[in-house]
Structure 1
Amino acid sequence: MKLNFSLPLSFLFALAIFVSSCQNNKKLPILGPREAVSVKNEDGSMGVDTVYQTIPAFRFLNQDSVYITNDQFKDKIYIADFFFTSCTTICPTMHRNMKTIFEKYKDNPEVMYLSHTIDFKYDKPSVLKKYAEKLGVDGNKWQFVYGSKDSVYQLAERNYLVAVMEDTTARDGYIHQGWLVLIDKQKRIRGAYDGTDPKQVEQLTKDIPVLLAEDKK
């Protein structure tokens, strides 16, 4: 089930800028909360700098029963999402679309993928492994990860700005938003795309090289 939860106003505002700026294919905006801080310049004067929210350090078990951390994504851009293997609503569509992007950029060592299960009861590493194999994914570029409810849910809502929840009244027991979230090499959010919408997935495909080009300028 797709959620229609209200996102923070700062995120919606940034997202509007994002849609507009993508049309120019110059530089993607930085999304999410930000804070102005005082800094001391080299000449001793005081100035103001902007500190953006970043994805914090994490540690999860992957589909190979190996702990992975944010170190695996150092100097990489990556696409993150939240799903569960028994999902019969939006997850299959999300991951079919994500697989298309995976195939397009699978030879690029700077692009990775990170899927967090929100089913902390059933989706242990062995289940994630079977899911990855069924999807036709192997290797280390696409990580499927399992963690405790608190660690995954807090990361989703506080840092990726994706709403997830356990709901016994829902068809599959969980509900969540279907964002594919684009993260840059500085661990900042640079785009959020509806993984069930072909047009937005196509835009994500186009935005990946735009983001990669930033570090080469």
Structure 2
Amino acid sequence: MQNTSRKKGISTLIILAMVLLLPGFLYVLVNRMGASNTYVKLPIYGEKVLSGTVSRKMGREFKDTLFHQVPVIQFTDMNGKTVNFIDNDSTISVVHLFYTKDKSFSRTMINRLNAVATNLKRNPKVRFYSISVDSNSDTPEILKIYAQGYRSEEKNWSFLTSPSVDILKFAREELLLDAMVDTQDSSKLIIGSSYVLLDSQRRIRGFYDLNLTTELERLEEEVKVQLVEEFRNIPTKVEKRD
């Protein structure tokens, strides 16, 4: 009888211990699983400064940071229409530089972007911009001829020019791309070899070098990553507007 009572006592203690410890164990387990299930976020490039304000999220305080944003400016597209670059806060953008007199490098940039734009053409949340750095020569009429064969309208793809904007300065200071007149030959321009990914807040989220074979695949994948982030941020945007 004593052994039976002792066994019952031990069983009762074990059950009590499980009841007391199990919730804590499950809490730790869920938190660890949650931490390992975080979404991938792309980096934000450019200058960053603290705004001096603080936001609260999930009971914690975070210092607000102001990130580099590409300003909204007006361009003219290949159809002669005025395009605000970029004023739509519901799309992400892929941008690069080119000019039509460059028969090799610029054409390669366009051809390879065409493959990405074709793969993503069914998603209206993704826009593509090819910006000419030679606005004196690259009129809308010239761009329209240059863009023939790419079916750019089907791919949310605009070829842009603007004689009223210092494109070289804009490219260097805002897109953070190389852009300058060739000191050896003033008829030629030196431009960056990267595509730039911008989020819906006009922040730079990625650079993708044309000269590396895997970069276009990475660009396409990170466009999808950014689309997920944009989707997850929709409630936040709605809350801020209210």
Instruction: State the 1:170 CA deviation.
Output: 3.9
CA displacement, residues 114-169 of structure 1 (integer Å, 9 cap, x when unaligned):
11101122100001111111444235711111113753122201111001112363
Contact 1:93 1:196 in 2 (8 A): no
The aligned counterpart of 2:230 is 215
Q: How does 1:15-164 map to 2 (within 5 A)?
A: 26-39=40-53, 48-70=63-85, 73-139=88-154, 141-148=156-163, 150-164=165-179
Work out the CA distance in 2 between the residues paired with 1:136 and 1:172: 30
Work out the CA distance in 2 between the residues paired with 1:74 and 1:88: 34
Amino acid at match of 1:27: K
Amino acid at match of 1:75: S
Q: Would you identify which runs of 4 or more consecutive aligned residues in structure 1 move more than 6 Å?
A: none
Structure with the larger RCO, 1 or 2 (CA within 8 Å, 6+ apart): 1
Amino acid at match of 1:155: F
The aligned counterpart of 1:4 is none
Instruction: State the 1:91 CA deviation.
Output: 1.3
Larger Rg: 2
TM-score scaled by structure 1?
Answer: 0.80
Contact 1:38 1:47 in 2 (8 A): no
Q: How does 1:133-212 map to 2 (within 5 A)?
A: 133-139=148-154, 141-148=156-163, 150-167=165-182, 169-170=184-185, 173-212=188-227
SS of 2:174's equivalent? helix
Contact 1:60 1:147 in 2 (8 A): yes
CA displacement, residues 68-108 of structure 1 (integer Å, 9 cap, x when unaligned):
10356431001000100121332122111100100000010
- The worse-fitting range, judged by mean Cα deviation, of 28-37 and 105-114 is 28-37
The aligned counterpart of 2:33 is none
Q: Which structure 1 residue ranges, 5 or more long, are not aligned? A: 1-23
SS of 2:214's equivalent? helix
Instruction: State the 1:31 CA deviation.
Output: 1.0
Instruction: State the 1:41 CA deviation.
Output: 5.3
Work out the CA distance in 2 between the residues paired with 1:113 and 1:36: 31
Work out the CA distance in 1 between the residues paired with 2:151 and 2:201: 29
TM-score scaled by structure 2?
Answer: 0.72
Contact 2:91 2:200 in 1 (8 A): yes
Q: Which structure has more helix as a fraction of its residues? A: 2
Root-mean-square deviation (CA, aligned residues, Å) is 2.4
Aligned residues: 191
